[in-house]
A and B are shown apart, each in its own frame.
Chain A
Amino acid sequence: MGLLRKSRRSPEAPERAGTATAKAGRERIRQLHALSHRGLWGLAAFLAVSLVAFNHSRLLPPLSDNLRAVLGKSPPTNLISIALVVYSFSALVLILSRMSTGQGKYKGWSHLAYLSAFYVFYLYGNVLDANFWAVFAAGVTIMALEHYQLWTFCTEAIRKEEERLAQAERLEKFKS
C-alpha cells in the first residue's frame, strides 16, 4: 500500500523503495556475516584465558597470605568438580534447546565468565594443575557448540535474506 501511494506521487519512487530494500537486505547480510564470527571470537577468548590458566605459575603472581585470610578457605575440590559437571550439563542442554527452537542468541560471553570462574576457584584451591583439562574440555565443548549454533542460525538467515534479495531484484527488473 505504501508503495502504491508513493507511486502516485512520483514515477521513480518504487525504484527508490526497491533500492532501499536491497540496501537494507545487504546491510542485514553483512551484519549476519559479522554475527556468525562472534562464536569464533568467543572460542579464541576462551583459549587465551586457558593459556593463562595453563601457565598460571609463570604468568600470575602467587596469592598473598593476607588476601587468602580475607577471602577465607577455598571450597572443597569435589564440590567445585560437581558444580562443573552440573554447569556443563545444563549449558549443553540449554544450547541444544536454543538450537532446536532456532534462536539466534549468543551466550558465549557469559559462559566465558563462568568457565574463568572455575579456573579461579581451582587456582584458589591450589588444584588447578590436576583439574585444568576438565575445565578446558568443558569450555571447548560449550564454546564450540555455541559457535556452531550461532553459525548455523546465521547461515540459514543469510540464505533466506539472499533469496529475498534476489526475489526483490527480479520484481524490480520485471517492473522496469
Chain B
Amino acid sequence: MLKNLAAKAIVPVGLTVTGFVIVCSILLYSYVKQDLIEDSIQREVLLGDIIVKATRFSMLTDQRESLRQTINDIGGQKGVEHVRIFNKKGVIMFSAHAEEVHQLVDMSAPGCIECHSGPVAAVHLGPMDQARNFVNAQGEPVLAITTPIYNEPNCSNGGCHFHSPDEKILGTLDIGMSQAPLIKSLATLRIRLIIFCLMVLVLTVGGVIALLQRNVLLPVRQLVHFADQVSRGNLEVSEPEGAEEVTSLAGNFKRLARRNLEADDNLRDLQDKLDALTRQIRERESGHKSGS
C-alpha cells in the first residue's frame, strides 16, 4: 500500500490542499450566509420604517380604511408572508389576513419576548434583536421584523388624538418576508463551492501526477531500462534525459560498466597469455622428457 513514488507524493499534497480548501470554503460560506442574513434583516428593518412613515399620516388623521387598504396592498406583494399592526396591548388592529384582526398576540411568543422579557417592556432594540426566524404553515422559512411605532409630538399634540405624551410606544408593525430566495441563493453558493473544491482537488492531484510523471517517474523508468541494458553489456544504449540527476547517474553507470568490461577484457587477455605460457611450458617439458 502506498509504495510507489506517485502515491507517496500525491496523498499528503492532495490531503493538505483539499482539506485546507474545504475549511476555507466552509468558513467563506458561513461568512457569506451571515452577511446575507444580516443584509436581509437590515433591508427588512428599512422596509418596516418605510411602512411606518408611509402610514403615519393615515394614523395621525385616523383614516382607518386608508390604513387597512395600504396594509392589504403591501401584504399582497410577492414574498410578503404577513404584515400586521397591533396596539400596545397586543391586539392586532390591521392585518393583510383579515382573520387575524382583533386577535391577541402572545407576549411570550418570539418577536414579542425580546421587549417583554422583563417587568418593564424595552423601548429600543437593535436591528438584529428585532428579527425572528420561523417556518410558516406552508413550510417556508420566514424572517419577521417588529418595528415599534413611537409616540411623536404630533401624535399627542394633535387635536383629534388622545395619546398621552408619557406613552413611549403606541403600537408595533410586524412584517414577515419569505426567505425562500435567500435559501435558494445559499444552496447555489454551496453547490458552487463544492464544485470549486472538487476542481481544486482534481487540479492538485492531476498537477502533481503530471509533474511527477514528466520529471521523476519517466526518467526513473528510463534509468531502470538503461541500467538493465548496461548490465547486459550493451553500452550503445542512450542515456535517459530530463532530470539532471538521472542523466548524471546514468553517466556514472555507463563509466562503471565500461571500466568493468575493460577490466574483464584485460583479465581475459591475461588469462589467454597465461594459458599460452602454460602450454609452451608443458610442450617444452614434454620435449625434454622425450629427448632424454
A residues bordering B, Cβ < 8 Å? 77-78, 81, 84-85, 88-89, 92, 95-96, 99, 130-131, 133-134, 137-138, 140-142, 144-145, 148-149, 152
B196 within 8 A of A: no
Asked whether B20 is an interface residue with its Cβ less than 8 Å from the other chain, the reply is yes
Please, which residues of chain B bring their CB within 8 A of the CB of A148? 11-12, 15
Contacts of B27 in A (CB 8 A): 81, 84-85, 131, 134
| Interchain CB contact under 8 A, B23 and A134 | yes
| A contact residues around B12 at 8 Å (CB) | 96, 99, 145, 148-149
CB closest residue in chain A, given B18: A141
Q: Beta-carbon contacts of B227-268 to A below 8 Å, as 1s and 0s?
A: 000000000000000000000000000000000000000000
A134 pairs with B16, CB closer than 8 A: no
Q: Of B8, B15, B22, B31, which one neighbours A81 at CB under 8 angstroms?
A: B31
Residues of A within 8 A of B18 (CB): 141
Q: Would you give the 0/1 interface string for B20-44, flagging 1 where the beta carbon is closer than 8 Å to chain A?
A: 1011101100110110000000000
Task: Considering the complex, give the chain A residue whose CB is closest to the CB of B1.
Answer: A155
Majority DSSP secondary structure for residues of A touching B = helix
Q: Is the CB of B11 within 8 A of A84?
A: no
How distant is the Cα of A140 from the Cα of B30 in the complex, in angstroms? 19
Contacts of A95 in B (CB 8 A): 16
A81 contacts which chain B residues (CB < 8 A)? 27, 30-31
Point out the residue from A88, A96, A144, A149 that lies within 8 Å of B23, measured CB to CB: A88
B23 near A85 (CB under 8 angstroms)? yes
Q: Is the CB of A137 within 8 A of B8?
A: no
Chain B positions within 8 Å of A88 at CB level: 19-20, 23
* Nearest CB of chain B from residue A83's CB, rounded to whole Å: 11
Is A145 a contact partner of B23 (Cβ separation < 8 A)? no
Q: Are B15's CB and A89's CB within 8 A?
A: no
Partner of B19, one of A131, A133, A141, A152: A141
A residues less than 8 Å from B31 (CB atoms):
78, 81
State the Cβ distance, B199 to closest chain A Cβ, in Å.
17
Complex: how many Å from CA A142 to CA B20?
9
Contact indicator A138/B33 (Cβ below 8 Å): no
User: Which residue from B8, B11, B20, B30 sits with its C-beta under 8 Å from A131?
Assistant: B30
Q: Is the CB of B30 within 8 A of A92?
A: no
- In the complex, A13 Cα to B232 Cα: how many Å? 45
Asked if B23 contacts A141 (CB within 8 A), the reply is yes
User: In the assembled complex, which residues on chain A have CB atoms less than 8 Å from the CB atom of B34?
Assistant: 77, 130
